[in-house]
Amino acid sequence: MKHAQTVLFLGDGMADEPLAELGGRTPLQAANVPNMDWIAAHGRSGQMLTLPDGFPTSSDVANMSVLGGDLAKELCGRGPLEAASQGIEMGPDDVVFRMNLTTVAPDGTLADFSGGHVGEAEQKEAIALLNEKIAATWKGHDGEYIRFYAGVSYRNLVLLHGPAFSGSAVAYDKPDDNSGNPVAEHLPRAKSPEGEYTAQVLRDIISKASEVLKGRGANGVWPWSGGKAGAIHSVSKQYGIKGAIVAAVDVINGLGCTMGLDVIKVPGATGYIDTNYEGKADAAIKAIKDGYDFVYVHIEATDEVSHAQDLKLKLQALEDFDSRLIGRVRAALGDSVSYCVLPDHPVPIRLGKHTRTPVPVAVYQPGEAADAIKTYDEVEAPKGALGALKGGDLMDLLLG
């Protein structure tokens, strides 16, 4: 039996832990989220492991898990996914790393992994300077070159071209896990002899960038999660459906397009608290009305404010996500459409970092009996009828 058309609402990093300042409740329990609660009360709940041991605790891993990707065979790093989103063609000798524009304090510690959420004008000027002062003058082996590409705000790319470069043989630390830590203690390093050259080139880029960007708000770079273009299976072909993705950030759009989902761009989608919630909702509504079977709607704001450990903004982001996006979609499409809501991973306010804790899931499907769960949150969801999900379980449930 083919299921009803489905809208999946993904609140990046919105799962959390009980907080004393909320009377022992989580932000999801404390926030006013009637639409998420409706999905739970009229559907079935459970939890999903999205960041299994042995893989980085990053959003490319977690969102690939949600979409049923085979992490062991298909994971290629954020760099190639973001390159795909930007339409950057990668050859067999190209390795692309995600590169944050950052703010480094005078004492050498990482003050802000987002460069103060650097604006578009400053970002583009910084990337142009890096291309002029570093890429254009860089001397490597014959035929090798470097290119920097601007993405969204602090999320940018550095491409290394040449057969001697490797992504898989380079170890890296995540910038959003290292606020306040000395940058010099978290530089790229080789996991094997094949990665020594690449790691050294990346360290050179970091050093030179600190001089090129000196005096700016975003005065440093942090390359990480690099790789080569790989083969990722198509969700649309697997299930015989027409699917779309609505997101602001390149890593999610890149993952969507490589997994066979049409990318729908929304003006004003910023990847932050000021994003265009209504525009994203309207894009999802239109996609369903245009005949799409599956629409994946991703919100980054909940992740960003969680990394900033800003509880007030997290509660606001949860409520905006619920009312301005989920509520708007439900009001337009009614209860004949299936709805799913979940985060890709937790980012507890207490830590400001991703954790591997399974995330709460709620799924409403017309004609399916509801379980006894009445609210959507980290405490109630594990008690629901869906139990513990992993791998392709969620996509099989929604589309199989």
Q: Please check the confidence at residue 2 and state whether its pLDDT lies above 80.
A: no
Mean pLDDT for 305-331 is 98
Percent share of the chain, pLDDT over 70: 100
Identity at 189, one-letter amino acid code: R
Q: What is the pLDDT of residues 48-74, one digit of tens each?
A: 999 999 999 999 999 999 999 999 999
Structure pTM?
A: 0.84
Taking only the tens place, the pLDDT of each residue in 276-301 is 999 999 999 999 999 999 999 999 99
Q: What is the pLDDT of residues 106-136, one digit of tens each?
A: 999 999 999 999 999 999 999 999 999 999 9
Residue 83: pLDDT over 70? yes
**Mean pLDDT (the chain, rounded):** 96
pLDDT at 81: 92
How many whole angstroms separate alpha carbon 6 and alpha carbon 281?
14
Please give the torsion angle defined by the CA atoms of residues 263, 264, 265 and 268, in that order, rounded to the nearest 10 degrees: -130
Q: Encode pLDDT of 236-282 as tens digits.
A: 999 999 999 999 999 999 999 999 999 999 999 999 999 999 999 99
CB 162 within 8 A of CB 143: yes
Tell whether the model's pLDDT for residue 95 goes beyond 80: yes
